[in-house]
Structure 1
Amino acid sequence: MEDIVTLATRLAEEVLSPHASAVDTGERDLARNLDVLAEHRFYGAMLPPEAGGLGADPSTAALAAEILAGGCLSTTLTLGQHQGITGLVAGQGAPHFRERWLPGLASGRVRSGAAFTGAIPGPPRLRATAAPGGYRLDGAAPWVSGWGMVHVLGAAARDEDDRIAWLLVDAEEAPTLRVRPQQMLAANATRTVTVEFEGHFVPADRLVTVATQAEHAAGEPFTKRLNGSLVLGVARGAVELLGGGAWRAELDECRAELDAMADIDAARARAGEFAVRAATAAVVEGAGRGVLADAAPQRLLREAGLMLVFSSRPAIQAGLLERLAPGTASAQ
């Protein structure tokens, strides 16, 4: 059996990278890539083999995600939202809940998107109110990927005590659940939408867990590290076009800083700036052919731009502004 990194490398080289431009332009259905990853158990990458996963430890999972994202960002971004929900169910779901949902999530027979709005610090944009037999959701989740390709949404909403209630919501439009497509700078193949809830009922047996904001914040550094793998993946794609060398050495430095998690926000900012710089150099080196609609350099540059704001937080934004435009962050 191939080790996880070798498997990720093979799939990136043989499946994802050759079709990345076609996915980006809509000529290839992203779901075809996701089916391949499900077949190779990446939907449950961090679950043990006996639970249908690959048994990846955190550092291996992060590197595998980077390699896959270097092949196709849209594919890996969509997969990553599912994996986050799978990890939540595996780690915090009650035994009966895991028994019901984990086999399908691990295999990819049940696919999940993520509506993390209620878990973001600050005033809640999505609320869960107790109702007879369950909860009612009100508010919006602006960045939900995979619509039309996922069966459920892992939704984080604040309850009456300002705790975070995690619920599995059927990913189906209804009078109380409406979606609006988002047209993004890049990765539109992810079918990212804004989901609006208006008194949307969710049965009590769809509650995964309830966490305080402090409990959720304790896991944020690792979440930022995994999200940083997508940033590194875009940079990795550009470095491959540039032939490695000093570019690869800097990519390795960025990865080491993220792995250390000593200052995860600063490490994310450095990785984001590096991805933009490497992708820009790839466009320059590609000259005229690099800006054609189906060319990898221009796609990577757009993806690097998207990564500047993907899963960002104020400290990451400030670090990026300081790197890209010194003095800008402090002036705000």
Structure 2
Amino acid sequence: MLRVLRMRADSDGPSGFDAMLQEVRAAAARDLAPLVRRIDEECLYPEAPLRSFAAAGAFATHLPVAGRADLGGAIRAAAEAGEHCLSTAFCMWCQGALAFAVACSDNAALRADLGPRLASGAVLGGIALANPLKTFAGLSRLSLAAERVAGGYRVSGSLPWVSNLGPGHRFAAVFERPAGRVAMTVLSCDAEGVQLVPPGRLLALGGTRTYTVKLQNVLVADEDLLADPIEAHFRRIRAGLLLLQAGMALGLGRACLRLMRDAAAPRSLVNGQLALQPRALADRLDALEEEVCLLAATPFETDPVYWRRVLEVRLALGELAVEAAQNALMHCGSRGFVGDGEAQRRLREAAFLAVAAPAVKHLRWMLAELQC
């Protein structure tokens, strides 16, 4: 743990991420690549690769120091995993997002206790983002409600689609307090009254330990609150949470680019007729990565124009991921339609990026609302 935290303290901008990224790249080839088919077909949870990435510092470099943070290293680390497997890259986002939310909290005791354990991977977990994002955009209502009790709250409700969970894992959740105030807390999957319900077989990302989380009178102690009320805390972390998702799309896009280039030699004449060509995809990925890294260097920026750019780049990444995966399959031709081939898996994974919170349709809604 000390090694991971020291690496975070020594990092200074993109150059400080190099050693971590080299270790993540090596771990992805060594520990993740041999498991990809089992993760996809058998819904294997990639715990061993996640622990390796944690040891490399992948969940520590983006955490704030002296009020500043640069998310570029965490985004690039997730992209390295995403080139092999989107399930694993998504679990990395879950872990990194939870660590970021805790590190940005005003709860000093929680930061000091749980924060380092999340950064080092000693504790794994996720964050229930979909429901509050839609609620704060005016598209839904909070799914969790609480009543005040001595020393905290009793929280009940149901949260669909919370990932990277399991025994000993933690997750952040948002609930409505009496009198309409909203708070955020960190819960244990082992807490009394917490039930994890499998959602059934998913089209992709079945290895992410995604559940519907049901809470029945779960005790939330005051000392476990990340934010109460939540508004200032959520404004502080919202850009970072969305930007950290960029690694998934960038990694998947690179994998699709590789598939297209590998298919070019035997099919160069006919593949030239397809709408998206490797050079164009590479240029678009480079441009989006440049924008992501620029935004990631100042995740606490409060200018409304900055927030718009975050939404726009997240939307562009989700849409490009689907376009790249569709075209990669077509570049591969009949080989892309083989059930155990990579191209069809990438297309299924890309569909997740189009519907994951915030979904493409929700991002378009949020951008439209900004214009009102």
CA contact (8 A) 1:134 1:201 kept: yes
Residues 1:10 and 2:18 are matched in the alignment: no
1:1-332 matched pairs, under 5 angstroms: 3-26=19-42, 28-47=44-63, 57-116=70-129, 119-120=132-133, 121=136, 122=138, 123-148=141-166, 150-172=168-190, 174=192, 176-182=193-199, 183-213=201-231, 215-243=233-261, 244-258=278-292, 259-260=294-295, 263-312=309-358, 314-317=361-364
What secondary structure is seen at the aligned counterpart in 1 of 2:213? strand
CA deviation vs aligned residue, 1:255-277 (integer Å, no higher than 9, x gap): 23444555332322222221112
Is the 2:129–2:357 contact (alpha carbons within 8 Å) kept by the matching residues of 1?
Answer: no
Where structure 1 has 5 or more consecutive residues not aligned to the other structure, the ranges are: 50-54, 323-332
Alpha-carbon distance change, 29 to 85 in structure 1, aligned in 2, over 3 angstroms: closer
Calculate the TM-score normalised by the size of structure 2: 0.75
- In 1, the alpha carbon distance for the partners of 2:183 and 2:351 equals 32
Compared CA separation, residues 268 and 57, structure 1 to 2 (3 A):
closer
Superposed displacement of residue 146, structure 1:
2.0
What letter corresponds to residue 97 of structure 1 in structure 2? L
1:141 is paired with a residue whose SS is: strand
Structure 1 residue ranges (4+ consecutive) displaced by more than 6 angstroms after TM superposition: none
Distance 1:218 1:107 in 2: 23
Letter in 1 for 2:151: G
Aligned amino acid, residue 289 of structure 2: R
For 1:92, give the aligned amino acid. S
Q: Tell me how far 1:136 sits from its aligned partner.
A: 1.0
Q: Deviations 1:271-324 (Å, cap 9, x if unpaired)?
A: 22211121112212223332333321111100101100112155524599x9xx
Post-superposition offset of 1:84: 1.6
Instruction: Quote the offset at 1:142 in angstroms.
Output: 0.8
| CA distance in structure 1 between the partners assigned to 2:251 and 2:202 by the alignment | 19
The CA deviation at 1:145 is: 0.7
Query: For residues 86 and 268 of structure 1, do their structure 2 counterparts lie closer, same or farther at Cα, with a shift above 3 Å needed?
Result: closer
Amino acid at match of 1:178: Q
- Whole-angstrom distance in 2 between the partners of 1:193 and 1:47: 27
SS of the residue 2:157 aligns to: strand
Q: Is the 8 A contact 1:126 1:158 kept in 2?
A: yes
Greater relative contact order structure (CA < 8 Å, 6+ sep): 2
What SS does the corresponding residue of 2:228 show, helix, strand or coil?
Answer: strand
CA contact (8 A) 1:117 1:140 kept: no
Which runs of no fewer than 5 residues in structure 2 stay unpaired? Answer: 1-6, 8-17, 262-277, 296-305
Q: Contact between 1:21 and 1:296, CA under 8 Å: does it hold in 2?
A: no
Q: Percent identity?
A: 27
SS of the aligned residue for 1:71 comes to: coil
Deviation at 1:171, TM superposition (A): 0.3
CA distance in 1, matches of 2:255, 2:194: 37
The alpha-carbon deviation at position 149 of structure 1 amounts to 5.6
User: What residue in structure 1 maps to residue 264 of structure 2?
Assistant: none
Q: 1:15 to 1:294 in 2, by over 3 A?
A: farther
